[in-house]
Structure 1
Amino acid sequence: MTEEKKPNRLIHESSPYLLQHAYNPVDWYPWGEQALQRAKAENKPIIVSIGYAACHWCHVMEHQSFEHEKVAQVMNEHFVCVKVDREERPDVDAVYMDALHAMGLQGGWPLNMFLNSDAKPFYGGTYFQPQQWVNLLINIADVYKKNREELDNSAEQFAAHLNRSELEKYGLSKSNFHIREEDLRLIGYNLSTKFDKEKGGIGQAPKFPMPTDYLFLLRYYSHTNDQSILSQVNLTLREMAYGGIYDQVGGGFARYSVDAEWLVPHFEKMLYDNGQLVSLYSEAYQLTKDPLYKDVVYETVAFVERELMRAGGGFYSSLDADSEGEEGRFYTFTKEELQDILQDEEPLFSKYYHATAAGNFEHGRNILHRRISNEKFAQENQLELEVLEEMVKGWKDKLMAVRANRIRPGTDDKILCSWNALMLKGLADAYYAFENKHFLELAVDSANFILDNMTHGEKLFHNYKEGKATIDGFLDDYALLIRALTRLYEITFDEQWLQRAKALTDYTLEHFFDEKENMFFFTDNSSEKLIARKKEVMDNVIPSSNSVMASNLHFLGLYFNEERYQQLSDEMLSRMTDLIIKEPSFLSNWASLYFHKLTPTAEVAIVGEEAAETRAEVSAFYLPNILFAGTTGKSNLPLLQDRTAINNKTTIYVCYNKTCQLPVQTAAEALKQLKDRAQQPTSKFPSL
């Protein structure tokens, strides 16, 4: 008879990642004052182990080390052990990941850091094999007892490094006030030098979808008409949609591809990727009208709604990569399985999706992928396009029915404000592109869920689960929600969304803004104080919270005629300009803001009974540097004040830099004004 496992302190947490460790023999604490006080009282070092629910190597280290009594015994005897979900506490993760980089080590998860009793780091690493881990524990425990002063001195040096300003670290302490055509082109050129021109994407394996890179490139193309840029965007979006990184059966994207061909994914599916990729493919469709992009948007939204949407509202965070002890088992098929499911149609299916008897993945399994368009495949196989498309739909239905009976990958069912905001914006962008009312309903429901369950006054919470929101919002929660609500206003002309975006912006200026550097801290000034208060300035898979806030200030400054917003946005961008030009792949959302300030942004006010329909006519065309305001009656919004429906007919006012064109009453006339003006870039700042 086996001894029943006893839970540790993590059993009371809401994070699925922490709950995964709740029956480890390790005496885990969640992050908090209790663990720090014990470390001081017992004069012990602290282990902070950081990961997330969909992290494969986090699971491996748990199984190999944290589940074993002997390993746990060493950890419990010599250390105070703290488990952190990086998705719940990105502030803690950012501090200690920065510390790891300062130690000259490469970052990743699991992140295992050793701290003194003041929570200051002196050593760290990522994944450790079991014996390597135990040896390290014993050595650190011994050194901590015998050479504590030396470790404390080292920890003080790392703490001092962590408190260096990000702007100082990247040499951004000086403003560079210029917005120039030649610099925008240099940004585009420098980004283009990193293109993989064979398989799309930027750089080589592993390849991550980087939505902000391609959103910038779409804007760059719209301004320069550089066909090589559009070709690279189309190559990348097509190869991702054809590849194994995209779930060919059920829709939605995995987090990244381990190879350069987008074939073999790391099978975890994250809400933040899929929300942003819905935005990207929707925008690309507006420009190209490629039906593949439309299919990707509709299938990805269907996946999110089916597998990540909570019954009472809100979207879950992620799906694990593993099921039944194997990575990707839920999504892959053997040739024999396909023959049983598809019978006579299997040979054509396998030709379409490149399935073989040997398989292209582990255990003879196949990652389904495509290489050519439906039009070309139909032609090569002497099929009518409509017949092929109907067959593909039938194949997907049959395989989805089989997958419905498989053991599903684990779901991380916590709800994060920032990631939900990315999905909200994706849904709003999908409606903007396709006018599908279901997308609009999902977007409005999502906004209402966040504002009803994750706010207290103008203050946001980062997380929600089982009726509780417990962690103060971070800057990315505010920034991404402000951006999403602004977009929701544009597709509904319901001013409550815009007013809420402004109120949240004013809250960030009061509680997050650093007037010395004209940038925002990542944490609220009323929240828990860590050993360092960080600022996030570099764009990654998710755009940096400061770049999003700078863009928010730009657009809300136009909506509300707020000179302060505009000035702050300009100053934030000016700090970053030189680095944007040199390293655009790390600052592509900043680069998009550079584009918006160069051209400049068109302000389109629509007044009259058909305001929504007129907006839809105009936005059917690809116009990336535009904002819409509209009303069927009167409005106090500055962009709509003193604007009327002339002769009771819906009227459109196109304005730039507080200067308006003549009012017009058809979408075609407004589009002509917009296209004529778009060919006349102006420099906002003088060259210094």
Structure 2
Amino acid sequence: MSNRLANEKSPYLLQHQNNPVDWYPWSEEAFEKAKGEGKLVFLSIGYSTCHWCHVMERESFEDEGVAELLNQNFISIKVDREERPDIDNIYMSVCQALTGQGGWPLTIIMTPEKKPFFAGTYFPKTSKWGRAGLVDILQQAARKWHEEKDAVLEAAEMITQHIQHEPIGRFEGTVEDVIEQGYNYFLQAFDAKYGGFGTAPKFPTPHNLLFLMRYYQKNGVRPALGMVEKTLRSMYLGGINDHIGFGFSRYATDEKWLVPHFEKMLYDNALLALAYLEAYQATGSAFYADATRQIFSYVLRDMTSPEGGFYSAEDADSEGVEGKFYVWTPSEIIKVLGKEKGDVFCRVYDITNEGNFEGYSIPNLIAGTLQEKAGELMVNETELAKEMAIYREKLFQRREKRARPYRDDKILTAWNSLMIAALARGSSVLNDQSYLNAAQKALQFIMTHLVESNGRLMARYRDGEVAHPAYLDDYAFLTWSLLELYQATMEDEYLSQAIKWAKLTRDLFGDQARGGYFFYGSDAESLITRPKEIYDGAIPSGNSVMTWNLLQLFTATNDDNYIKPIEKQIAAFLGTVAGHPGGYSFFLTALLFAADKCAQLINVRSQNQETQMEPLHLPPDDNAASAAGNQIQEIN
């Protein structure tokens, strides 16, 4: 028997419609029921292609015993983080404050007033691996609520007050100081052996590379470009790149970029296309142009709706097994290509009997590029490349007969705008009209389906339904895409539209008193806090992109009216960025542009000299808010 989620359009919520848990979508009805019955709220946030969300569902949310525990003691709410990033943003900040980590599925326990007192990510059903079990956590939280309600309310109030604070660090230097700090951070964090930054797991984070390329372009510092080239080449050669069907997975679980977390996200591929394009512009190497074309081939073939919008993601799992769609054995290869050709392909792409992933093989070129393999095989490189292209196509057709991973077919304004920007840039850099056509068609989809009659932009389209007033990211990324289309075509209409959407962004999201932009609009649902996001995580933040947009608009129009908003935007966040510049790489890219193109802007100082707030002091160890906090680890 289905629950209330059966009436939703979100693919993630629909995946849970047959759980025995009495799920509610995020709604006032759910919170009113919690208040009326005096129950805690159990909030679970995830997304449809999240592997560990699937695991937690199978282990816990499909379990009758867990469902009984939740249904008796909690009002349970499911949220799709991709449709409601405002909710996810707020409660993820709670998880990071309490545990120092984050990830999905995100697990929150809170009062009926939406104030959280416990946070974590994935939990097994019962305690194991040194990790608290969900059953134990739920029982302890319910007991605390009934026996020590005042302590729970006090903890929830303290946590809520903490996340409502807007931390801005003290800063005494200049924009150029922050830029140099950012470059030095990446220089120190760079993995010279395998590319990327830090240790496993490794995320592409293409905006880090965009910053380094712009830094190289401005200062001529060769190591900056070297870090980019090493990273882009290593990712391309690794298993994180789908060598059979193209497109990049979300991240690699190892330092070599060999074993991916197999899900593919639209935003990663859009931003990676931009990074490979800029690498091609910086170096002239056809390697980067070809890598970009492969990304676009994947997106236009597999991730584009008939109407021109772009789908959101593809799952890591098929038939309940992570990566099953993507891995091979030598016998499978030989069955498709024949013995002689199959052996050559296996040798080139590391397909072995032992395998490199749970007894199977992920195709990769880590052991050597096609040029290097041609030398080993004593064949002509050009001929080998032609043969491999033919073999890959045959294997691709064979792979298409497998059970495909689930595809999340909702169309998000923000992520679509990123791909529009990439395709528009690609059309001019690669001189390919088809990319411009695809970008224009996707933009038309947004304007037709995701703009209400009153002009309000919306966040999500799926199956004929439009939902959720758009967030800052939607407005900022749409403006960015229009600027890219303008630069690709020099058609004034795109510039006019960019100007219009930038003004609407200011009106709906701008903080006129302190500068910066709030995450959700003044006309949207009011949550327990109204955050301003500046952290450039998996995607650049809306505030970083708006800084970029304002600078682009200033240079495109030569309108001095943009100068004060730019100065105010930089001043609002410069102290925060200076505290940890590696976390704000797209904002650093905007600062580079400011320093390079707008000399009058480079000496902006933070106007707010307030020091960073001290870290949150957790409740006592016997409180549910911290009982399992130290055992929470980032899973996704």
- Report the TM-score, using the length of structure 2 for normalisation: 0.91
What corresponds to 1:87 in structure 2?
82
Q: Is the 8 A contact 1:105 1:125 kept in 2?
A: no
Deviation at 1:312, TM superposition (A): 1.8
Q: Is the 8 A contact 2:348 2:370 kept in 1?
A: no
Distance of 1:372 and 1:286 partners within structure 2: 25
Cα distance per residue 1:300-339 (max 9 Å; x no partner): 1111111111112211110000012211111110111111
Residues 264-663 of structure 1: pairs in structure 2 closer than 5 A:
264-343=259-338, 344-456=340-452, 457-600=454-597
Deviation at 1:208, TM superposition (A): 0.3
Deviation at 1:581, TM superposition (A): 4.6
Cα distance per residue 1:405-441 (max 9 Å; x no partner): 0000001111111000111111011112111011111
Structure 2 unaligned runs (5+)? 127-132, 607-636
Q: Specify the SS of the correspondent of 1:59.
A: helix
The alignment status of 1:685 with 2:603, answered yes or no, reads yes
Deviation at 1:683, TM superposition (A): 7.4
Cα distance per residue 1:613-667 (max 9 Å; x no partner): xxxxxxxxxxxxxxxxxxxxxxxxxxxxxxxxxxxxxxxxxxxx8xxxxxxxxxx
Q: Specify the SS of the correspondent of 1:239.
A: helix
What corresponds to 1:631 in structure 2?
none
Q: Structure 1 residues 558 and 223 mapped into 2: Cα distance closer, same or farther (>3 Å)?
A: closer
Distance of 1:364 and 1:198 partners within structure 2: 25
Q: Is the 8 A contact 2:181 2:581 kept in 1?
A: no
Per mean C-alpha deviation after superposition, the further-off stretch among 360-369 and 507-516 is 360-369
Q: Is the 8 A contact 1:121 1:159 kept in 2?
A: yes
Deviation at 1:565, TM superposition (A): 2.2
Q: Specify the SS of the correspondent of 2:582.
A: helix
Q: Specify the SS of the correspondent of 2:99.
A: coil
Aligned partner letter, 1:537: I
Per mean C-alpha deviation after superposition, the further-off stretch among 143-152 and 412-421 is 143-152
Q: Structure 1 residues 517 and 177 mapped into 2: Cα distance closer, same or farther (>3 Å)?
A: farther
Cα distance per residue 1:261-293 (max 9 Å; x no partner): 000000000000001111111111111122221
Distance of 2:605 and 2:534 partners within structure 1: 24
- Give the number of the structure whose alpha-carbon radius of gyration is greater: 1
What corresponds to 1:70 in structure 2?
65
What corresponds to 1:668 in structure 2?
none
What corresponds to 1:150 in structure 2?
151
Deviation at 1:686, TM superposition (A): 7.8
Q: Structure 1 residues 447 and 368 mapped into 2: Cα distance closer, same or farther (>3 Å)?
A: same
Aligned partner letter, 2:446: I
What corresponds to 1:137 in structure 2?
138
Deviation at 1:183, TM superposition (A): 5.3
Q: Structure 1 residues 133 and 183 mapped into 2: Cα distance closer, same or farther (>3 Å)?
A: closer
Q: Is the 8 A contact 2:182 2:585 kept in 1?
A: no
The alignment status of 1:97 with 2:15, answered yes or no, reads no
What corresponds to 1:207 in structure 2?
202
Query: What percentage of aligned pairs have identical amino acids?
Result: 38
Q: Is the 8 A contact 1:45 1:79 kept in 2?
A: yes
The higher relative CO (CA closer than 8 Å, separation ≥ 6) is in 2
Aligned partner letter, 1:469: V
- Equivalent pairs counted in the alignment come to 598
Q: CA RMSD in A?
A: 1.8
Distance of 1:80 and 1:207 partners within structure 2: 37
Distance of 2:461 and 2:255 partners within structure 1: 37
Aligned partner letter, 1:225: G
Q: Is the 8 A contact 2:567 2:604 kept in 1?
A: no
Aligned partner letter, 1:21: H
Deviation at 1:387, TM superposition (A): 1.0
The alignment status of 1:258 with 2:245, answered yes or no, reads no
Aligned partner letter, 1:8: N
Aligned partner letter, 1:403: R
The alignment status of 1:114 with 2:32, answered yes or no, reads no
Q: Specify the SS of the correspondent of 1:449.
A: helix
Distance of 1:364 and 1:446 partners within structure 2: 38
Deviation at 1:375, TM superposition (A): 2.6
Structure 1 unaligned runs (5+)? 1-5, 602-656, 658-681
Distance of 1:469 and 1:163 partners within structure 2: 30
Q: Specify the SS of the correspondent of 1:363.
A: coil
Aligned partner letter, 2:214: R
Q: Specify the SS of the correspondent of 2:76.
A: strand
What corresponds to 1:50 in structure 2?
45
Distance of 1:139 and 1:79 partners within structure 2: 12
Deviation at 1:345, TM superposition (A): 0.8
Q: Which of 151, 157, 169 is 1:171 aligned to?
A: 169
Cα distance per residue 1:140-190 (max 9 Å; x no partner): 11221222222111111111112111xx2x425x6x67344x654443223
Distance of 1:140 and 1:541 partners within structure 2: 32
Q: Which of 21, 24, 38 is 1:26 aligned to?
A: 21
Distance of 2:222 and 2:368 partners within structure 1: 21
Deviation at 1:139, TM superposition (A): 2.0
Distance of 1:407 and 1:512 partners within structure 2: 43
Q: Specify the SS of the correspondent of 1:29.
A: strand
Q: Specify the SS of the correspondent of 2:197.
A: coil
Aligned partner letter, 1:71: V
- Report the TM-score, using the length of structure 1 for normalisation: 0.84
Distance of 2:451 and 2:272 partners within structure 1: 27
Distance of 1:440 and 1:204 partners within structure 2: 37
Q: Is the 8 A contact 2:178 2:577 kept in 1?
A: no
